Amino acid sequence: MIDTLLYLLCGLSAGILGGYLGLGGGIVMVPFLTVGLGIDIKDAVPVSAAAIVVNSFSASTEYLKKQMVDLEMIAILATFLVAGGISGSLLNGIIPTGVVRLIFTIVLVYTAFSLLKGRKNDTRHSVSEMRSFRLPLCIVLVFGTGILAGLIGVGGGVIIVPALFLIVGIPLSTARGTSSFITGFSAAAATAVYFFSDRIDLAIVSPVILGIIVGGKIGGYFGALAKPKIVRIIFFVVMLYLAIKLGYEPVMEML
């Protein structure tokens, strides 16, 4: 009973923070399940992927209501994200746990500092022009994001948000809304692979999904109203804390 409540709390907190930041929630779920509850990361990743599908569409409805989702970018990037997600989920059973945790840590640190720094205003090009110039780079990053998402059980928003904001030039609020929506595609592809491989623990995923449905709506609602500067500060603090928690053990083993 206590475990069930903890899984429910995991889903709730992941839904609120993930929906608020446009990250899907895996960035919270995987550390919560591994660091907090002692579940092996190889078992936590499939649970996270399944829950992200629910959180993505739960949170993104709030952004859609306020027209903070770039549907054109979703149409372009979704295919590449799904292809990467399938590839990453297949690699998950091959790559050692320590390596997966180390990759996750590097992504967290990169994302935290990238968004805290923000981007320089480029007055030479409009957003539409920046799309044309930088879309190929964004596609490559999104495909890589899909691989990483399937590999470590995050929705991919940790890279998609910075890519859309820093590279393509989309406003941070729209980048979060678009990321919140699009992460569901790669997570769904990864979940299908895990499901047919019989790697999803229903005893864990059921209460996590229940919590994330509620949390995602709450996070999405407040995320659509949040000021970009506040979002970036919260983002930095959370990512850095989780990076230290997850990265300490594999780094110590290497030293």
Q: Please say whether the dihedral angle defined by the alpha carbons of residues 6, 145, 120 and 56, taken in this order, is positive or negative.
A: negative
**Dihedral (C-alpha) 118, 58, 184, 6: value to the nearest 10 degrees?**
90
CA-nearest of 168, 108, 179 to 136 is: 168
pLDDT, tens digit, for every residue of 150-172? 776 666 777 788 778 877 778 87
**Dihedral (C-alpha) 187, 191, 193, 197: value to the nearest 10 degrees?**
150
Task: Count CB atoms within 10 A of the CB of residue 100.
Answer: 22
pLDDT, tens digit, for every residue of 94-119? 777 677 778 778 877 877 787 677 65
pLDDT, tens digit, for every residue of 47-84? 888 888 888 887 788 788 888 888 888 888 888 888 88
Domain span at 240: 2-254
Could you give the number of structural domains in the chain? Answer: 1
Distance of CA 162 to the CA centre of its chain: 11
